[in-house]
Amino acid sequence: MISCFMNIEIQNAGLKDLSSLRQLEEICFPLDQWPLIDLIGVLTLPGIIRKKAVQGERFIGFIAGDVRKREGVGWITTIAVSPDYRGLGIGKKLLSICEVEMNIPKILLSVRKSNQAAINMYLNSGYYQKEIWESYYNGGEDGIVFEKRR
Ligand SMILES: CC(C)(COP(=O)(O)OP(=O)(O)OC[C@H]1O[C@@H](n2cnc3c(N)ncnc32)[C@H](O)[C@@H]1OP(=O)(O)O)[C@@H](O)C(=O)NCCC(=O)NCCS
C-alpha cells in the first residue's frame, strides 16, 4: 500500500509532463517506447484520461485510458511506475483511479506474455484473459488482451 508518509499523490497529467513521461517510458519500456508524437498525443488529445503519480516534484508513474464512448469500451494504453517506486501499490492505485474516471462498462488492455508483474496486477485488479494477439509486440512476442467489466 502507498504509505501516507511517502507523500505520493495521483494528479491529472498534461503537456508540461512531456519530458518526464519520455524519461519514464525510456526506462520502463526499453522495447516498446512510443514515438514523441504519440507521447504528445496521449498528453493532449480529447477523450483520454491521463494521470500521473508524483512525490513532490518527482514524476514517478503514469497511466492513460482511451475512452471510446460510442463503442462502450475503454483501453488502458499505457501504465508505468518508476523502478525505484515499484511494489508499493502505485500501479494498482493508478489503475483503479483511471478505471473510475473512464466511467465505461468494458475496459481492455494488452500486455506482453512475459510481463508477469503487470499480468499479476491485472489479475489482482479484476481483469481476465480475453484473447492472445500472436507476435503483436516488437521482437515477435505474443500479447495477451485482458478485459474487465465494471
Ligand atoms: C506493471 C507495473 C506498472 C506495476 O506497478 P507497481 O506500482 O509496482 O505495482 P503495485 O505495487 O501496485 O502492485 C500491484 C500488483 O502487481 C503485482 N506485482 C507487482 N510487482 C510484481 C512483481 N515484481 N512480480 C510479481 N507480481 C508483481 C502484484 O500482484 C501486486 O499486487 P500485490 O502487491 O497485492 O501482490 C510496473 O511493474 C511497471 O511499471 N512495469 C514496467 C512497465 C510495464 O510493464 N507496464 C505494463 C505494460 S502492459
DSSP for 42-101, written as a single string: HHH-TTEEEEEEEETTEEEEEEEEEEEGGGTEEEEEEEEE-GGGTTSSHHHHHHHHHHHH
Domain that holds residue 84: 4-149
pTM of the entire predicted model: 0.97
Pocket of ligand 1 from Cβ distances under 6 Å? 28, 79-81, 86-92, 111, 115-118, 120-121, 124
Q: How far apart, in whole angstroms, are the C-alpha atoms of residue 58 and residue 20?
A: 9
Q: Atom of ligand 1 at shortest distance to CA of 61?
A: 39
The C-alpha cell 513532490 sits at 56
Q: Whose CA is nearest to atom 30 of ligand 1?
A: 121
Distances (CA, A) of 30 to 37, 55, 57, 88, 125: 17, 24, 24, 22, 25
pLDDT (0 to 100) of residue 145? 98
Number of domains in the chain: 1
Per residue in 79-130, pLDDT (tens digit) is: 999 999 999 999 999 999 999 999 999 999 999 999 999 999 999 999 999 9
What's the pLDDT band for 6 if we cut at 50, 70, 90?
A: confident
CATH number reported for the structural domain that contains residue 136 in this entry = 3.40.630.30
Atom 31 of ligand 1 has which residue's CA nearest to it? Answer: 121
pLDDT at 4: 62
pLDDT of amino acid 71: 93
Residue 23 has pLDDT above 90, yes or no: yes
